[in-house]
């Protein structure tokens, strides 16, 4: 169906045992959108992402990909869905004992039957896409934090996923590097049609890349707002949403990339 979302969250409860972090989270993400999960520290942003990729299981509700339940799928169906995911964790998640090329080769070696020459060609291509051409033989300890994040992104892209999940991609980066990462995210959306789900509290990134966002509110443990962040800043009457989007005295959105 033309109007079927790429991803749908249906009344999802996030919990650790009896402690409910967030209730009734619902959202629809169109194919090729950048969808941002935003909110203050401890509100459950990363927990929601972990539930979406299968590292945790919601206490209630359902998560659908292309109209099919991720939670009710059998093992084979779930593995097929997960093959369409690429994930970039906060620290990049690279193996320190492997070169950048070896890190990116790993999913290709594990999940494909490609010959070594073809894997090396793909690895060079993915590193070039994130601006790391020529760094194949460097170890994570030999590159900057921003380069590690980009190498982590190259690994997340290794299997040409339909959906990329980013957990605080700009954390610990300087403003220039963060902006370059935002530009790369938009390039993936525009040139490859990739759907992006991004957890962040960074306002510049939120306003620069988000097509759609949800705001998770710590106090009420509910979704307080859904929409384009620029529209929310202009129209919201909710004080928690307005306070979050105007931190640092910001009155106008950061300029779009």
One digit per residue, pLDDT tens: the chain, 257 residues?
Answer: 557 899 999 999 999 999 999 999 999 999 999 999 999 888 999 999 999 999 999 999 999 999 999 999 999 999 999 999 999 887 667 899 999 999 999 999 988 999 999 999 999 999 998 889 999 999 999 998 888 888 998 999 899 999 999 998 887 778 888 888 899 889 989 988 999 999 998 899 999 999 999 999 999 999 999 999 999 999 999 999 999 999 755 555 555 55
Instruction: CATH number of the domain at 197, please.
Output: 3.40.50.300
Residue 42 burial by Cβ neighbours in a 10 Å radius (0-12, 13-18, 19+): exposed
Is the residue at 212 inside a domain? yes
Q: Cα separation of 182 and 221, whole Å?
A: 28
Cβ–Cβ under 8 Å, residues 238 and 246: no
Q: Which residue has the tokens 């919990």?
A: 15
3-state class (DSSP) for residue 25 = strand
Q: What is the pLDDT of residue 256?
A: 52
Is the residue at 124 inside a domain? yes
Q: What is the pLDDT of residue 145?
A: 84
Is the residue at 114 inside a domain? yes
Cβ–Cβ under 8 Å, residues 24 and 226: no
The whole-model pTM stands at 0.89
Is the residue at 76 inside a domain? no
Give the DSSP letter of residue 251.
Answer: -
Task: Please state the domain count of the chain.
Answer: 1
Is the residue at 90 inside a domain? yes
Cβ–Cβ under 8 Å, residues 257 and 208: yes
In terms of Cα–Cα distance, which of 196, 182, 221 is closest to 13?
A: 221
Greatest CA separation for the chain: 57
| Edge-to-edge strands, sheet with 163-167 | 85-88, 163-167, 195-199, 34-39, 212-217, 222-227
Q: Cα separation of 127 and 131, whole Å?
A: 6
Residue span of the structural domain in which 45 resides: 32-54+85-249
Q: Which residue has the tokens 């306070």?
A: 243
Q: Which residue has the tokens 């979050």?
A: 244
Is the residue at 79 inside a domain? no
Is the residue at 69 inside a domain? no
Cβ–Cβ under 8 Å, residues 64 and 7: yes
Q: Cα separation of 24 and 45, whole Å?
A: 14
Cβ–Cβ under 8 Å, residues 161 and 86: yes
Q: What is the pLDDT of residue 244?
A: 94
In terms of Cα–Cα distance, which of 29, 32, 23, 27 is closest to 10?
A: 27
Is the residue at 24 inside a domain? no
Which ranges of 36-140 does DSSP label H, i.e. alpha helix?
45-53, 75-82, 100-111, 116-129
């Amino acid at each position: 169906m033309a109007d079927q979302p790429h991803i749908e969250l249906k009344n999802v409860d996030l919990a650790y045992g009896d402690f409910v972090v967030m209730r009734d989270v619902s959202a629809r993400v169109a194919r090729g959108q950048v969808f941002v999960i935003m909110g203050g520290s401890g509100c459950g942003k990363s927990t929601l992402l972990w539930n979406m990729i299968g590292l945790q299981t919601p206490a209630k509700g359902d998560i659908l990909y292309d109209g099919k339940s991720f939670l009710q799928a059998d093992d084979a169906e779930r593995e097929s869905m997960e093959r369409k995911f690429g994930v970039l964790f906060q620290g990049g998640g690279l193996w320190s004992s492997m070169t950048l090329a070896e890190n990116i080769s790993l999913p290709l070696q594990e999940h494909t039957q490609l010959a070594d020459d073809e894997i090396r060609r793909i690895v060079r291509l993915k590193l070039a896409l994130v601006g790391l051409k020529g760094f194949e033989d460097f170890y994570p300890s030999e590159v900057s934090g921003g380069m590690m994040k980009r190498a982590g992104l190259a690994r997340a892209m290794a299997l040409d996923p339909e959906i990329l999940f980013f957990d605080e991609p700009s954390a610990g980066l300087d403003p220039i590097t963060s902006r370059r990462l935002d530009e790369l995210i938009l390039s993936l959306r525009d040139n490859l049609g990739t759907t992006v789900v991004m957890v962040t509290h960074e306002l510049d990134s939120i306003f620069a890349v988000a097509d759609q966002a949800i705001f998770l509110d710590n106090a009420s443990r509910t979704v307080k707002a859904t929409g384009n962040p620029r529209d929310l800043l202009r129209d919201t009457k909710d004080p928690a949403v307005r306070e979050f989007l105007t931190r640092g005295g910001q009155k106008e959105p950061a300029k779009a990339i």
